[in-house]
């Protein structure tokens, strides 16, 4: 499976995203774009036109959008953020940390995690990004997990949090279960065929 991406440039009067009302409007714009996407697309939300975002707007357009993704309102669609500058970082990080959520952001081919996640899941996410795609067995072989089930639990949780994508991998396993391959969302950034809206 190849993840594709489209870029959504946030815009605001004077480049300011302030007040919860503005945040709700922008959240609906982002969710509308997510709803319009085909499966296996990553929406890249671009902050390059934004000079400042307050905590209430960050809560609406980052935390609450992520909550809707986690609730499977937009199946097999994902989100990344780009061009988050120093003036955005503090309020976005605060909103995510309070909500105990995490996002992936990038600028100039460098990426960061913003927010809060259990360190064990963070290590698994780092390994998925490093390998670009991985199965639970491959993760178990490269990390200090005692069982494939332990690795699978970590990957499933990251997928539930919409931090990685997944696809069925090979044939079903014995007992009727499914085997998956988990894919880094950043592979969509490697694909340079972005549509900008």
CATH code (residue 58): 1.10.10.10
Cβ atoms of 59 and 22 closer than 8 Å: no
Output the six-digit token pair for 81.
């953020």
pLDDT confidence of residue 87: 85
Answer yes or no: is pLDDT of 99 > 70.
Answer: yes
Q: At what angle do helices 119-131 and 148-160 cross, to 10 degrees?
A: 90
Which pTM does this prediction carry?
Answer: 0.91
Cβ atoms of 114 and 92 closer than 8 Å: yes
CA distance 6 to 192: 10
Dihedral of the alpha carbons of 190, 191, 196, 197, in degrees to the nearest 10: -100
Closest CA to 107 of 44, 166, 59: 44
Closest CA to 13 of 39, 51, 42, 48: 51
Summarised one tens digit per residue, pLDDT across range 8-51 is 999 998 999 999 999 999 999 999 999 999 999 999 999 999 99
- What is the domain extent for residue 69? 4-196
Domain count, the chain: 1
């Amino acid at each position: 499976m190849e993840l594709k991406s489209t870029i959504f440039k946030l815009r605001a009067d004077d480049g300011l995203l302030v007040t919860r009302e503005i945040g709700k409007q922008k959240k609906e714009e982002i969710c509308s774009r997510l709803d319009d996407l085909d499966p296996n697309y990553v929406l890249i939300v671009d902050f390059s036109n934004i000079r400042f975002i307050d905590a209430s707007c960050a809560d609406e357009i980052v935390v609450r959008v992520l909550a809707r993704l986690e609730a499977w309102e937009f199946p097999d669609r994902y989100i990344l953020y780009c061009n988050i500058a120093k003036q955005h970082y503090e309020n976005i990080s605060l909103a995510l940390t309070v909500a105990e959520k995490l996002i992936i952001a990038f600028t100039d081919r460098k990426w960061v995690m913003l927010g809060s996640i259990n360190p064990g899941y963070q290590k698994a996410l780092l390994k998925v990004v490093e390998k670009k795609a991985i199965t639970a067995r491959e993760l178990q072989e490269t990390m200090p997990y005692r069982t494939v089930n332990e690795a699978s639990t970590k990957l499933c949780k990251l997928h539930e949090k919409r931090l990685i994508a997944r696809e069925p991998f090979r044939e079903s396993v014995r007992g009727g279960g499914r085997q998956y391959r988990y894919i880094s969302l950043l592979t969509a950034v490697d694909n340079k065929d972005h549509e900008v809206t």
